[in-house]
């Protein structure tokens, strides 16, 4: 019976820790491609931006794709929150060939940025504030992911170890009394 309690406690702790992996948050589907035409201004596709509700903190990643030179502003609930990184003007208008989110995010010459949001309901809107030279259109990606709750995971593991220690101490004190 003693070994069964220890085994069940260890199994519970192992199961609890494995539940703390990062879970992608779907904004439509993740990551999402957005597009604009006609120069600077609000994006055209999707015309209503993005909406989502989350019960945990979320990281929003926004990046340009294909042509170097586009920059974006992100508005959250109609409030300006961030502008993507500056570009290298000597490379303005060059084709990168980045057709996936990971290729675009890892390209050091494309404009990108991240924003952290707490739990809540959000309406995200994207505005093109700069367009690559030689064109009046562009596109980029947006991705939303849940943050890994590492402090909570460590606290949970510590509480489990402390509980096992107290259990063992009570067992030891009963046998030595």
What per-residue confidence (pLDDT) applies to 3?
A: 66
Query: At 49, is the secondary structure helix, strand, or coil?
Result: coil
- 29-147: CATH topology: Jelly Rolls (2.60.120)
Q: What is the pLDDT along the chain (177 residues), one digit of tens a residue?
A: 666 666 556 555 555 544 433 333 364 457 988 999 999 999 888 888 888 888 888 899 999 999 999 999 999 999 999 999 999 999 999 999 999 999 999 999 999 999 999 889 898 999 999 999 999 999 999 998 876 656 667 788 888 888 888 888 888 888 887
Tokens of 135: 């064109």
Give whole-number Cα distances, 17 to 13, 22, 89, 148, 172, in Å: 6, 12, 47, 12, 27
Q: Give, to the nearest 10 degrees, the angle between helix 150-175 and helix 2-18.
A: 170
Could you say which DSSP state residue 96 is in?
-
What per-residue confidence (pLDDT) applies to 15?
A: 52
Query: At 145, is the secondary structure helix, strand, or coil?
Result: strand
């Amino acid at each position: 019976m003693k070994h069964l309690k220890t085994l069940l406690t260890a199994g519970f702790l192992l199961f609890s820790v494995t539940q703390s992996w990062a879970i992608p948050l779907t904004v439509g589907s993740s990551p999402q491609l957005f597009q604009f035409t006609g120069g600077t201004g609000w994006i055209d596709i999707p015309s209503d931006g993005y909406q989502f509700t989350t019960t945990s903190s979320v990281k929003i990643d926004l990046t340009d794709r294909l042509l170097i030179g586009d920059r974006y502003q992100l508005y959250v609930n109609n409030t300006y929150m961030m502008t993507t990184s500056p570009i290298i003007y000597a490379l303005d208008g060059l084709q990168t060939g980045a057709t996936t989110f990971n290729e675009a995010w890892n390209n050091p010459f494309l404009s990108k940025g991240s924003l952290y949001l707490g739990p809540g309901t959000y309406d995200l809107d994207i505005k093109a504030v700069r367009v690559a030279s030689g064109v009046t259109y562009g596109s980029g990606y947006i991705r939303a992911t849940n943050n890994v709750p590492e402090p909570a995971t460590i606290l949970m593991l510590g509480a489990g170890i402390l509980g096992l220690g107290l259990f063992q101490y009570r067992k030891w004190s009963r046998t030595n009394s």
